Structure 1
Amino acid sequence: MPASRSSCASSVAGSRVSTRTIWSQARRCSGVSQRGVFEAGVTPPIYLTLEPIAPSLRTESSNLNYLEAVMRVAIIGAGNVGAGLAEAATTAGHEVTVVAAHQENAVEVAGNVGAKAAATAAEAAQGADVVVLAVPAGAAAGVLREVKGAGAVVVDATNPLNDTFSDLTTGGTSHAEQLAAGAPGVKLVKAFNTVFASRLGAPSEDGRPLDGFYAGDDDAAKQVAADLLASLGFRPVDAGSLRMARSLEELAFLNISLNARNGWTWQSGWRLAGPTA
């Protein structure tokens, strides 16, 4: 049974504790499972639908409104995805640092959303709980070399599109697997790549959260990615090992292709729907 609201609120009031502790408290208080932060009893569905184009306002679980889950998030990249993540993460109450190839871009994004700007990726990653690679796929390996010594969980949000956006540059593997192979020991998780920048601040449709898929080989690192997704309003969906990043990159490519070919407005998002039993 979920704990009482008063006991949960008093247990975290007036203090900042670790992200894992606070989300563990959230799960205890709301009665949700390890992978979810929404109402108890909701089961993950089994078929895939592409949600309508019109964005919706974020929905928050009433059980979690009084909890403050703070992560130190380093976002590498200040383009559409990096800026969107920075805004969504600061809005969620996280401590965000932004860095970009051109520092003036990082300064601008940080100033717009209430984050901090760093001069280098290594500086941004220092002390971070999670580092998000929101750069072009071709630049990701170089950035990873800069941040791998920080010990943070690294989230690969990239998609390896070719120059004409007509295909992926990978074959028989994923970009995430290639990054991991080139940086042994790094706790890497594929996440956020299936979410358009336009939906990072609008993670629900028709009052229901969109899905945030993630994949990786380190369970603790995956939980950090799941917690970040949940805190931004998405329903975290564990896709499995890092091998499944191949599917997530193809899923992102499908959504990109649909929007480009059909003249959609780049606001569609994925949600699994239907019973699992």
Structure 2
Amino acid sequence: MRIGIIGAGGMGGAIARRAALAGATVLLADRSEERARQAAERAVPGAPGTVRAVSVSAALRPRLIVLALGWQDGLDLVESRGPALADRTLVDVSVPTGPDAVAGGVRRLADTAPAARWVKAFATADACALFSGVVDRQPVDVFVASDDDQAKVTVIELVDRSGLRALDAGGLDNARGLEEMARVGQQLRERLLINGGWAFRFLPGW
């Protein structure tokens, strides 16, 4: 599997790590070539897959692309590259804040590039938890929402192969709920002065 990741910050580097552990070939792009190179080096130790720092154009070629960007940066990218994204599976990990939190999040991205297959995932855990893969010795849960079943299954399989636990979170309308969960998690981390990673975990009573 080939995966493009746009953004080599904390989230982009963590997702590159999980994809490499899943055995994928990862093309990682960032405005800073040096940051992309360093993130690629951190992502590969002990992993069967590979991570290579590339240009944004190269990272947009795979069928599966992760937008590890802030919401506005993601929107700007989608607006400028819309035609090139047709039939690609695009995974949005952003957590809009302020007026953007009400404006529509991933739904607005999807309206901007309606020919793409949109997925919301990875938002309900921070970069530290995703990179390590565990919180309190438990695998991190990744909630995956999409209206496109094929795209959703592709992301779920990637997450499961990476050592995390993927959970089908329903359609893209539920992305708003995942973003709200993420905002609560971020606030709790600040209020509780958490130094390590945090993640939401689903604990059903069977």
* Residue 244 in structure 1 maps to residue 180 in structure 2: no
* Residue 140 in structure 1 maps to residue 74 in structure 2: yes
For 1:73 and 1:192, how far apart are their aligned partners in 2?
15
8 Å CA contact 2:18, 2:159 repeated in 1 = no
Q: Deviations over 1:199-224 (max 9, x none)?
A: 11322345542311011111001111
Q: Secondary structure at the match of 2:198?
A: coil
148 and 257 in structure 1: CA distance in 2 versus 1, 3 angstrom threshold: farther
For 1:198 and 1:262, how far apart are their aligned partners in 2?
16
* Residue 123 in structure 1 maps to residue 58 in structure 2: yes
For 1:234 and 1:191, how far apart are their aligned partners in 2?
12
The answer for the alignment partner of 1:199 in structure 2 is 129
* TM-score, with structure 2 as normaliser: 0.87
1:113 to partner: Cα distance: 3.1
Aligned residue among 142, 149, 161 for 1:212 = 142
* TM-score, with structure 1 as normaliser: 0.66
For 1:209 and 1:270, how far apart are their aligned partners in 2?
11
Larger radius of gyration: 1
The one-letter code sitting in structure 1 at the alignment partner of 2:94 is: T
8 Å CA contact 1:156, 1:176 repeated in 2 = yes
8 Å CA contact 2:27, 2:58 repeated in 1 = no
The answer for the alignment partner of 1:28 in structure 2 is none
* Residue 149 in structure 1 maps to residue 84 in structure 2: yes
The one-letter code sitting in structure 2 at the alignment partner of 1:244 is: N
1:275 to partner: Cα distance: 2.5
For 1:132 and 1:192, how far apart are their aligned partners in 2?
10
Give the number of equivalent residue pairs. Answer: 198
77 and 156 in structure 1: CA distance in 2 versus 1, 3 angstrom threshold: same
Matches within 5 A, 1:66-77: 71-77=1-7
The one-letter code sitting in structure 1 at the alignment partner of 2:63 is: D
Question: Root-mean-square deviation (CA), in Å?
Answer: 1.9
For 1:89 and 1:267, how far apart are their aligned partners in 2?
19
Whose helix fraction is larger, Structure 1's or Structure 2's? 2
Aligned residue among 68, 80, 96 for 1:160 = 96
Unpaired runs of 5+ residues, structure 1, are 1-70, 163-167
Using CA pairs under 8 Å that are at least 6 residues apart, name the structure with larger relative contact order, 1 or 2.
Answer: 1
The answer for the alignment partner of 1:169 in structure 2 is 100
* Residue 104 in structure 1 maps to residue 34 in structure 2: yes
* Residue 113 in structure 1 maps to residue 43 in structure 2: yes
Matched residues, percent identical? 31
8 Å CA contact 1:73, 1:131 repeated in 2 = yes
Q: Secondary structure at the match of 1:240?
A: coil
Aligned residue among 72, 84, 94 for 2:14 = 84
1:110 to partner: Cα distance: 2.2
The answer for the alignment partner of 2:24 in structure 1 is 94
243 and 202 in structure 1: CA distance in 2 versus 1, 3 angstrom threshold: same
Q: Secondary structure at the match of 1:275?
A: coil
